[in-house]
Each structure stands twice: as C-alpha cells, then as structure tokens.
Structure 1
Amino acid sequence: MTNTLLTTDWNADPNAPEVELTVEGSSVTLNFFVNCFIYEKFKEGDKAKLTFLNCLKYSFNSMNDEGYYMGQYRYKYTDIPWGEFYRLDTNWETDFPARHTTLTDMTDKRNLNHYIFFFKDNTFECIAENYHLEFYRDS
C-alpha cells in the first residue's frame, strides 16, 4: 500500500483536537483545533474545517494512538505513521473498517479516493471524491 501525506504544513492539535463531525447530504465535515505548537502560522484557538465531498462512506472510530502502536488496527505504524492525514492507494472495497456509515449508493466509483486522518483519540476514514480545507478562528 502506498500513501500520500496531506498534512505537509499543518496538522490537528496533537493533544486535544476536539473533533466535531457533521454530515450534510453526501458531505462529511470535520471541525477541529489545529496544531499551533509547531506551525507558527497558527495561534491557539485556530481551527480547521475539512469537508469531504461526494462521500460514499466513512468511519469515525475510537482507535487512538496507544491502541495503534499496540497493533490493534489493521494498519501498522510501520505502514502509516500516526498523527497525520493521508490519501491511501488501496482496494478500499475490501480494505475499509467493517463498522462504517454509508451515505450514498454511487454507481460510478472511478473518481473516489480513500482518506485517513489519525487524531489523538480517534481515527477517521472515508471514501470520497475530494476534500476541501479551510482554516478559521472560532469566535
């Protein structure tokens, strides 16, 4: 399996990202605090809004960093380092968490991508056409 790192100049807060997930139609949005400790362009309280567009299915589970390093997930830390956001090159029809939510029944699946984001206390995976990222300050 190959992967593409998508958090090259940003990431989620490593201690308390406080992820909020919302679903609207076939879009899944994650709001969370960003890492202001190592990325100087962010200040404490800055957030990211990561929206997955035309999402076929998603899994937001309780796999945390401790369980991941103990080998309790189907991927190993030697395959994909913890704590980042990736696009995976997999056969996602067979390589996806058994417990998931299906949002739509797409007949044309050629443009879908497999994404995974490792947060401090959760792991998010989805199959979607694309994503949109924006940063903001919660007021």
Structure 2
Amino acid sequence: MANLTFQHLNTDWNAEPNAPDVELTVEGNAVRLSFRLNPWAYSAAPGEIATLRFLGCSRFRWDATNDHAWFAGEGLYSGQAPKWGEFYEVIGDTRVAEDDDWDVLSADLPSARQFLFYFRDDTIEIVAQDWSLTREIPPAAESSSR
C-alpha cells in the first residue's frame, strides 16, 4: 500500500465527534451514509443530519477500528492517513479486489474511486464512482432550537 494520497473531502463540515449515530443503507448500486453533523466546530445546527450518497457503488466495508486503535497504530491506513476523524478519497494502489472483508454489490468499474471516513467508533470504506452530500434539520431538532 505504498504511494497513497489522501484527498481531504470534508473541509467545512464533519461528523459529530461523540455520537454521530451513523446509518448505512444500500439502495441498488447506491449507498447512503447518514450521520449527525458537528455543530461545535462547523456551521451546523444542533441535530442536523448529513447524508453522503455514493453512486455506482461496487463495494463497502464497515470496520470497527476506532480512534483508540488508530492512534495505537492498528487498522488499515494507520500511520498513512493524515488525520483521524476525516473523510478522504484514497488515491493509489490500496488493496487487491479479491479481499473477502468487503460487502460486494458488483464488480469494480474502471472509474471507481475509494472513499474512507473515520468516525469515532468506526471506519467506513466505500468504492464508488462518485459521491454527494445533502444536509437536513430533522423536524424534532427544528422545533427544539426555536
């Protein structure tokens, strides 16, 4: 796994650091990853939810590597990724396609890209063609902030 580049993708937002309440949903060849946003360090309302949608997804894996393990040098990309708790595109030769620790939805396409998000208690990797971010304030959070 030499010569990797980690392109930082979440420069003006991030997941809530203590209880992001991460949910992953598969919809055909799309994967939705929803979580609470961090209102303390970024422009986000308390309770605001972000959803990353990965289109043309071929595989994903949800790993239990948490912040303690990562700082102890355990887990994939520990010592290589620039910072814990961020969302990256991993560029370079990362792993063989036959790894059996992935949930495989389809064959990887030549245009596939690998994404990596470090949450407090989880690491999620997704191979997909593209991603987008939407944000919403749930009705319960809207009424409690008035």
**Structure 1-normalised TM-score?**
0.90
Gaps of 5+ in 2: 140-146
- Please say if 1:4 is aligned against 2:7: yes
Q: 74-83 or 60-69: which moved more? A: 74-83
3-state SS of paired residue (1:127): strand
CA contact (8 A) 1:85 1:115 kept: yes
Counterpart in the other structure of 1:13: 16
**C-alpha separation in 2, matches of 1:118 and 1:90:** 18
Tell me by how many angstroms 1:78 deviates: 4.8
- Which residue of 1 is the match for residue 25 of structure 2? 22
Aligned pairs (5 A) from 1:89-128: 89-94=91-96, 98-106=100-108, 109-128=109-128
Contact 1:19 1:33 in 2 (8 A): yes
For 2:72, the equivalent position in structure 1 comes to: 70
1:51 and 1:122, CA in 2 relative to 1: closer, same or farther beyond 3 A? same
Structure 1, unmatched stretches of 5+, are none
Q: CA deviation at 1:25?
A: 0.3
Determine the structure 2 residue equivalent to 1:32: 35
Would you say how many aligned residue pairs link Structure 1 and Structure 2? 136
Q: Is the 8 A contact 1:59 1:97 kept in 2?
A: no
Counterpart CA distance in 1 for 2:122 and 2:98 is: 15
In 2, Cα distance between equivalents of 1:71 and 1:97: 21
Q: Distance in 2 between matches of 1:98 and 1:8?
A: 32
Larger Rg: 1 or 2?
Answer: 2
Match of 2:134? 134
* Structure 2 residue matching 1:68: 3-state secondary structure: helix
SS class of match (1:29): strand
Tell me if the contact between 1:90 and 1:114 (Cα under 8 Å) persists in the aligned partners.
no
Kindly state the Cα deviation for residue 74 of structure 1 after the two structures are TM-superposed. Answer: 2.4
TM-score (norm 2): 0.86
Q: Structure 1 residues 97 and 36 mapped into 2: Cα distance closer, same or farther (>3 Å)?
A: farther
The structure with the largest strand share of the pair is 1
Listed as ranges, the matches of 1:33-48 within 5 Å are 33-39=36-42, 41-48=43-50
SS at 2:70 equivalent: helix
Identity of aligned residues (%): 34
SS across alignment from 1:55: coil
